Amino acid sequence: MARRVLLIEDEPNIIEAISFILSRDGWTVHAHADGTTAFDRVRALPPDLIILDVMLPGRSGFDILRDLRAAPALAAIPVLMLTARGQTKDRELAERLGVSLFMTKPFSNAEVLANVRALVAE
């Protein structure tokens, strides 16, 4: 069965790009653009990997990550945080909250793909 990735991201063009890259590699990509309902979506799926943006309408990626790590059933899902906010303090905050990997935009497609593979293989 194809592995499932949940992409929580609000920029339509970025959703399109990541979906294309991962689908081409055989992943099933679900996209979700809203921060408030993202947690419910994770619980409903749940995916093998989450790619999480930070600046989301309604609720920030940091808050969603904190909720995920606090929920016993979902805490083990690897989270790849992908954000345009590249400041050190953002990275530090993400790491404190238990992010699996922190990447800044713009990214190289190959790197994203390699990281997704590595995170799910672990």
Partner 1 sequence: MLTFNLLVLVALAYVAFLFAVAFAAERRAARGDDGWLRSPLIYTLSLSIYCTAWTFYGAVGYAARSGLEYLTIYLGPSLVMIGWFWVVRKLVRIGRTQRITSIADLISSRYGKSTALGVIVTILVVVGITPYIALQLQSITLSFSVFVDPGGDVPAGASRDAVALWSAAGLALFTILFGTRNLDANERHHGVVLAIAVEAVVKLCALLAVGIFVVWGIGRGWTDMLARIDASPIADWSQPGGRWVGLTFLSAAAFLCLPRMFQVLVVENGNERHLVTASWAFPLYLLLMSLFVVPIAVLGLDLMPAGSNPDLFVLTLPLSQGRDGLAMLSFLGGFSSATSMVIVATIALATMVSNHIVVPVWLRLRRDGSMIAGDVRGVVLLARRVSIAAVLALGYVYFRLSGGGAALSAIGLIAFVGVTQILPAMIGGIFWRGATGLGAAAGLVSGFAIWVWTLFLPSFGADAVIPAQVMAQGPWGIGWLRPHAFFGVQGIDPVMHAMIWSMLVNTSLFLIVSMLTFPNPLERMQGAQFVNVFEHSAGTRAWGQTAAAAEDLLIMAQRIIGAADAQAIFLRAAQAQGKPGYLPDVTPDFIALLERELAGSVGAATAHAMVGQFTEGASVTVEDLIAVADEAAQILEYSTQLEAKSAELEQTAGQLRAANEKLTALSVQKDSFLSQISHELRTPMTSIRAFSEILRDGDTGPAEQQKYAGIIQDEALRLTRLLDDLLDLDVLEHGQVELHRQRGQLRDVIDRAVSAAGPRGGRLRLVRRRADEAIMLETDLERLAQVFINLIANAQKYCNAADPVLRIEVARLGAGYAVDFVDNGTGISPEHRQVIFEKFSRLTDPGRAGGAGLGLAICREIMARLGGGIDYLPGQGGAAFRVVLPVADAMAAQ
Residues that bind partner 1 (CB under 8 A): 10-14, 16-18, 20-21, 24, 33, 55, 57, 84-87, 104-110
Closest distance between partner 1 and the C-beta of residue 73, in Å? 29
- Measure the CA dihedral 81/82/86/89, to 10°: -10
Where are any strands of DSSP class E within the chain? 4-8, 28-32, 49-52, 79-83, 101-104
Nearer of residues 17 and 45 to partner 1, judged by Cβ: 17
Separation between Cα atoms, residue 94 and residue 45, nearest integer Å? 23
Nearer of residues 11 and 67 to partner 1, judged by Cβ: 11
Closest distance between partner 1 and the C-beta of residue 70, in Å? 26
Closest distance between partner 1 and the C-beta of residue 41, in Å? 16
Cβ atoms of 54 and 85 within 8 Å: the answer is yes
Nearer of residues 49 and 74 to partner 1, judged by Cβ: 49
Cβ atoms of 97 and 62 within 8 Å: the answer is yes
Closest distance between partner 1 and the C-beta of residue 21, in Å? 7
Nearer of residues 84 and 114 to partner 1, judged by Cβ: 84
